[in-house]
Amino acid sequence: MLIHKSALACHAVCSDDAARLPLNNVHVAPDGTATATDGRVLLRVKPPVPDEAEYPQLAPGFVPVEIPAGGFLLPASVARDALKALKTLKPHYGLARLGQCVQVEELNGNVTLGATDLDKRARVTGRVPEEKFPDVEQIIPRGAPAFAIAFDPCMLADLLKAVIEAAGFRHGDVGDGVRFEFREPLGPATLTATGDNGAQVFALAMPMRLPDRPTVTP
C-alpha cells in the first residue's frame, strides 16, 4: 500500500495526551483515506489514489502488505517523520510518486514506512497500538450547510497568527477565543478578540469569489 503525503499531514491535529492513546494516531483506511482528531478538531484527507505499479520495489522479493478491512492506526510521530524523510529525497521527474508517497513495508504490531529516490532509501518504524480509533462518523455534520464562505487558507492562517500574537494567546490559554462575524456571503468577515494582555483586537478578511462547486464529502 502507498500512503500519499497529503494523508500523512493529518498528524498535525493528533492529540499528544498520553491518556488518550488512540487519538495520538492517524487512522488510515484501506483506500488511503486518513483521519485524525484531538477531540476538538478533526481532519480527514482523501488523497489521490496512487498507482502502485509506478512505485519501484524497495527490496528484492517485496510482497505488498495487506491492510485490514478496518484500516490501521499510524502513530503521529511516524507520519511526521515520514513527511520529513520525503523532504530529504531528491525529486525524480520521471517518477513523481517517489516524492509524493511512502510505501507500507511492514504491518504486524509495528508499522514501517519506506521511501526512496532511487539513490537512497529512508525508513521509519513505530509501534501500532492495539486500541481502536473512535467512531467519528457520528459527529461529522451531514446534509446541506446553512451557508458556505470560501477563504484563502494561507491568508487566513497568517491573519490568525497575527491575531494570536497581538492578543498574547498561547495553546491552552486563549481567553474567550476569536469571534468570527459574517454579515453577507460575499462581504468581509470580521474577527474580534480580547487578549489577556488587555489588547482589543479587530481584524477583517475578504472571502474568495469562486463559482459554485460540490461540497467535499467526508
Q: How far apart are CA 101 and CA 115, in angstroms?
A: 7
Sheet holding 179-181, edge to edge: 179-181, 189-194, 200-205
CA distances from 139 to 20, 132, 134 (A): 18, 17, 11
- pLDDT at position 169, please? 93
Residue 42: pLDDT above 90? yes
Q: How far apart are CA 124 and CA 103, in angstroms?
A: 10
- pLDDT at position 59, please? 67
CATH fold for the domain made of 2-139: DNA Polymerase III; Chain A, domain 2 (3.10.150)
- pLDDT at position 208, please? 84
Q: Which residues is 102 bridged to in the sheet?
A: 3
Nearest to 15 by CA among 67, 85, 73, 60: 73
Q: How far apart are CA 15 and CA 51, in angstroms?
A: 31
Cell numbers describing residue 119: 539513490
Say which residue, 40 or 51, is predicted with more confidence: 40
Q: What are phi and psi of 40, to 5 degrees?
A: -120, -40
- pLDDT at position 67, please? 86
One-letter amino acid for residue 204 of the chain: L
Q: Which residues is 201 bridged to in the sheet?
A: 193
Q: What is the pLDDT of residues 196-218, one digit of tens each?
A: 888 999 999 999 876 666 667 77
Q: What is the pLDDT of residues 86-144, one digit of tens each?
A: 988 877 665 656 778 899 999 999 999 998 888 888 899 999 999 999 999 999 998 88
Q: What is the pLDDT of residues 47-67, one digit of tens each?
A: 987 777 777 776 666 777 888
- pLDDT at position 28, please? 96
Cell numbers describing residue 200: 482589543
Q: How far apart are CA 10 and CA 4, in angstroms?
A: 11
Residue 153: pLDDT above 90? yes
- pLDDT at position 205, please? 93
- pLDDT at position 134, please? 94
Cell numbers describing residue 30: 484501506
- pLDDT at position 147, please? 82
- pLDDT at position 95, please? 63
Q: What is the pLDDT of residues 157-195, one digit of tens each?
A: 999 999 999 999 998 889 889 999 998 877 899 999 999
Sequence ranges of the domains in the chain: 2-139, 143-218
